[in-house]
Structure 1
Amino acid sequence: MQKIPLNLARPGMVLAKPVARSDGIAVAAAGSELSENLLARFEAMGVSHLVVEGEPVALDGPAGSSSFDKRLERLEYLFRRFPDDKWMGQIRRLLDHYFRMKAASSAAMAEAAQAARAAATAEAAKPQDVAGSAAAGKDA
């Protein structure tokens, strides 16, 4: 089971926990498979995170993918004086989780931007419509 930001959820993933509206009424049950329509509905509802089955997303992201990785490295140093304080330990774990989520999100956004650039490049590299060119030549 893994809690992920909505922007990292993909069609085909399966919910591990139900998603409910703010008034408590369930919108999607645990075990529901995500689809494009369901993800769009969650976004419209303002859902920020989902709990999905398994661990489909590497929340660590590629090494050095963002400044969040540097922040993760500094956490150990910043909390070095509180090794046995349970409250400071909880804050450290929350910050660790937050920075991992942000690093993964920024890595996913960078990956999506790269895919969009590759698609645009492929579209631009397509040969022009040969049939249209031949028809234009016959008319002349």
Structure 2
Amino acid sequence: MQKLPLSLARPGMVLAKAVARADGIAVAAQGTELSQALLDRFDTMGVDAVVVEGNPVDLEGAAGDMSYEKRAERLDHLFRKHAGDKWMQQIKKLLYDYFKLKAAGLAAARAAAEPPREG
């Protein structure tokens, strides 16, 4: 299952979750195959993201593929005005920890995908 911005959704993808308008009214059911007409309709309704089955879009190299160090730098920048706020610092720490775990998981997945070395 992958959440995608509407701009990356393509005809043929299958919804993993129902799509609803901002007012909560469902406009497409889980399991619906996307068509260009349906994507256009979502766009006019203000739907900004959909959840599709599988992992059809490789987000590596996109803004989502940022090293842990760059993410940490970005968090420092984003939270720079909240040094004295303990709650904001707690949120910052949670984000640091999340990105660290995510980076470790990606590294493990890449290592598992590499062919075994002979030697």
TM-score in same-fold range (> 0.5): yes
**Structure 1 residues 59 and 70: CA distance shift in structure 2, 3 A:** closer
Whether 2:42 is the aligned partner of 1:46: answer no
Letter in 1 for 2:48: S
Q: Is the 8 A contact 2:59 2:65 kept in 1?
A: no
Of the three residues 67, 72, 84, the one matched with 1:76 is 72
Structure number with the higher helix fraction is: 1
**Structure 1 residues 72 and 26: CA distance shift in structure 2, 3 A:** same
**Structure 1 residues 78 and 43: CA distance shift in structure 2, 3 A:** closer
Q: Is the 8 A contact 2:22 2:47 kept in 1?
A: no
Structure number with larger C-alpha Rg: 1
**Structure 1 residues 59 and 22: CA distance shift in structure 2, 3 A:** same
Q: Equivalent residue for 1:5? A: 5
**Structure 1 residues 33 and 86: CA distance shift in structure 2, 3 A:** farther
Q: CA separation in 2, counterparts of 1:42 and 1:72?
A: 34
In structure 2, stretches of 5+ residues that fail to align are 77-88, 100-119
Aligned length, in residue pairs: 87
Letter in 2 for 1:26: A
**Structure 1 residues 38 and 79: CA distance shift in structure 2, 3 A:** closer
Paired residue secondary structure (1:3):
strand
Q: How does 1:1-140 map to 2 (within 5 A)?
A: 1-61=1-61, 73-77=69-73, 87-92=91-96, 93=98
Q: CA deviation at 1:91?
A: 3.7
RMSD: 3.2
**TM-score between the two structures when normalised by the length of structure 1:** 0.51
**TM-score between the two structures when normalised by the length of structure 2:** 0.59
